Amino acid sequence: LRGMGTGMQPSWWGELSRLGMPVLLMSGELDQKFCRLAEEMEERLPYSEWVVFSNAGHAIHVEEREKFGTIVNGFLSRHSDT
């Protein structure tokens, strides 16, 4: 955590608009912090898709395991050639 924690990593916000590949953003509606961050990222990322999970918090992959897997698999299938 000393070397790789979020407080130690450089900010890449200024580079997001340069990404030319599809990006999937997912957050639980009860996780206000990460919904706010995903909204900001979606505005900066030219090829992003943001999915909000209803009645879920920070651990959407645990809280909505099947839905999470379906969305990730669908996204990867749609963008397998990019």
Each residue's pLDDT tens digit, 25-41: 999 999 999 999 999 99
Q: Rounded to whole angstroms, how far apart are CA atoms 14 and 52?
A: 24
In this structure, are residues 59 and 30 in contact, taking their beta carbons and an 8 Å threshold?
no
Could you tell me the pTM of the whole model? 0.87
pLDDT tier, 13 (very low <50, low <70, confident <90, very high otherwise):
very high
pLDDT tier, 82 (very low <50, low <70, confident <90, very high otherwise):
low
pLDDT tier, 1 (very low <50, low <70, confident <90, very high otherwise):
low
User: Tokens 């996204």 — which residue?
Assistant: 75
